[in-house]
Amino acid sequence: MESEARLRLSPAQVRALAAEFGTPLYVLDEAHLRGRLQRYQAAFSAVHPRTELTYASKANSTLAVLRIAYQEGFQIDVASGGELAAALAAGVPASHCHLHGNNKQLAELEYAISAGIGMIVLDNEPEIATVARLNPSVPCVLRLAPGVDPVTHAKISTGQADTKFGFNIGDGSAERATKLALSLGLNLIGFHCHVGSQLLDPEAQRAGGEGITQFAVAMAERHGFVATYLNVGGGLGIRYTEEDVPMPVEDYCRLIVEAVTMAFHGTVLEGVELTLAQEPGRSCVGESGVTLYQVGVIKKVPAKDGQRTYVCVDGGLSDNPRPALYGSQYPVELVPAEDRSTWDYEVDGPGAAFGIPREQIVTISGKHCETDRLFPDVALPADVQVGDFIQVGCTGAYNASMASNYNRYPRPASVLVRTDGTFALVQRRETYEEVLMREQLPEGL
């Protein structure tokens, strides 16, 4: 069963993992991940007779994660030829994959169709024409922009009118695309939308689902097209901080289904056997992962308020770019390199009665040639030492998948904690040779 808590490794596990695999290190817990996937399946199927869940592999496309999602009954959402190749390598049939993307290249479409892709999410009119030419029998849906502006960071908001994704409903683009797809004989089965990510309020998702349902009704009335598939996308948030309180997935699924069902009620589509789909990613895998770092330099410098303490770790921007991109926050915990019986405990103050170590506010920084403030203004025990470990929660999503080789740093390894508690390497740490393997010097240079 899934724990309601975010994944948190024990100090013994942290030390053992660091000793065996080194740091920085991505760690995923198999039981936690499977529990989350199973809970999502149960919650969605309980409120609608025909449901489909598609794992958004951009969140974490490690082969082990893709295999687990497929084993738990998920389709796989792939947003590139590379993500499709990863799904195939993980043993997922192409027929269980959906191809996304706002600018799919011809080679990607040809690759996906030749592999037997299960569905293509069409994004623009030239793409409609291309798929009609390549293979009009492939099941397709149109991605719609329903004009919903969710409460989230602007860089992960995608459902508003001013977006690169999909066909706008309000300006008539979506209807023109529907007519074009039908006129070219495409195997159009329905519609799709995705309004944004890290949503803590379901109203934007409900509005998106209601919007594409109303559009489906309009297309049935005007053009006789009966949609049998609606995908309301993903976006449910996770608990990065104590202030982040996402809705329980059971309530979330119920409210999404209610919005779609109400929009169908009393229309020409009422009674149609509709498959309702979602595409969760972060909410499946985010809380099932942590990242481990080791403390190196500890430095005190002058600051506006007197003094700042930098605790520098052996990773940073290249293994987690989200703090620099979005100002993202994470739960952070110090794990001493060995059991310490000499913690600097409070002798008075609020923590004295509970044996809480004295704390200091520090900035945890990375080692890259940037400001690279991973986690500013976090509380750590005052006697943090070189060699201690930092455990960062909620890094199962958008960390391994966004990692780079900036400053020529090799990307970290990934380890899966199996259901029996053993550790399995699922991505080995890159070597310098692998970082440089694409390079070549021309003759005579």
State the catalytic residues.
Answer: 369
For 74, 159, 236, 365, 424, the CA distances from 57, given in Å and listed in that order, are 11, 19, 15, 29, 21
Q: How far is CA 372 from the centre of its chain?
A: 22
Residue 232, classified by CB atoms within 10 Å of its CB into exposed (0-12), middle (13-18) or buried (19+), is buried
Question: Are the C-beta atoms of 370 and 324 separated by less than 8 Å?
Answer: yes
Q: CA angle 256-258-260, nearest 5°? A: 75
Distances (CA, A) of 200 to 92, 248, 313: 31, 10, 31
First-last CA distance in the chain: 60
Q: Which of 270, 316, 262 is CA-nearest to residue 294?
A: 316
Phi/psi at 223 (nearest 5 deg)?
-130, 0
What are the two backbone dihedrals, phi and then psi, of residue 395, each rounded to the nearest 5 degrees?
Answer: -105, 15
Rounded to an integer, what is the distance from CA 280 to the centroid of its chain?
8
Q: From CA 231, how far away is CA 138, in angstroms rounded?
A: 17
Closest to 96 in 3D by CA, of 119, 66, 75: 75
Q: Quick one: residue 372, left, alpha or beta (phi over 0 = left, psi -120 to 50 = alpha)?
A: left
Provide the greatest CA pair distance for the chain. 78
Taking each continuous run of H as one helix and of E as one strand, the counts in the chain are: 12, 18
Give the position of tokens 């996937």: 37
**Cα(328)–Cα(399) distance, rounded to whole angstroms?**
12
- Please tell me the distance from the alpha carbon of residue 296 to that of residue 392, in angstroms, as a whole number: 16
Which residues, in sequence order, are CB contacts of 381 under 8 Å at separation 6+?
334, 343, 344, 357, 358, 359, 360
**DSSP-assigned states of every residue in 10-74:** -HHHHHHHHHHH-SSEEEEEHHHHHHHHHHHHHHHHTT-SSEEEEEETTS---HHHHHHHHHTT-
